[in-house]
């Protein structure tokens, strides 16, 4: 039986394991870290494969100057 669990991680796991890869990726894609700029990833538990990864860089506010 294949292990299909995909936890969402940053520095620490931020969501319990889900057996739905698409759901895990969708939640991770919409997630943010505090402080900004940390990596968020979805990892297949059985293989250790990172199936999704993002780093949100801190954006500077727009100015008119």
Q: Which domain holds residue 49?
A: 6-55
Give the H/E segment covering residue 22: helix 21-30
What would the mean pLDDT of 47-62 be, rounded to a whole number? 80
Distance CA 20, CA 23 (A): 5
Is the pTM for the entire model greater than 0.85? no
Q: Is residue 36 part of a domain?
A: yes
Cis peptide before 35 (omega within 30 of 0): yes
Number of domains forming the structure of the chain = 1
More confident residue, 42 or 9: 42
Q: Is residue 33 part of a domain?
A: yes
Q: Is residue 29 part of a domain?
A: yes
């Amino acid at each position: 039986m294949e292990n299909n669990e995909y936890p969402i991680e940053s520095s620490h796991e931020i969501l319990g394991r889900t057996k739905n890869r698409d759901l895990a990726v969708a939640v991770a894609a919409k997630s943010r870290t505090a402080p900004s700029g940390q990596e968020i990833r979805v990892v297949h538990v059985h293989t250790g494969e990172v199936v999704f990864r993002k780093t949100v860089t801190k954006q500077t506010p727009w100015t008119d100057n």
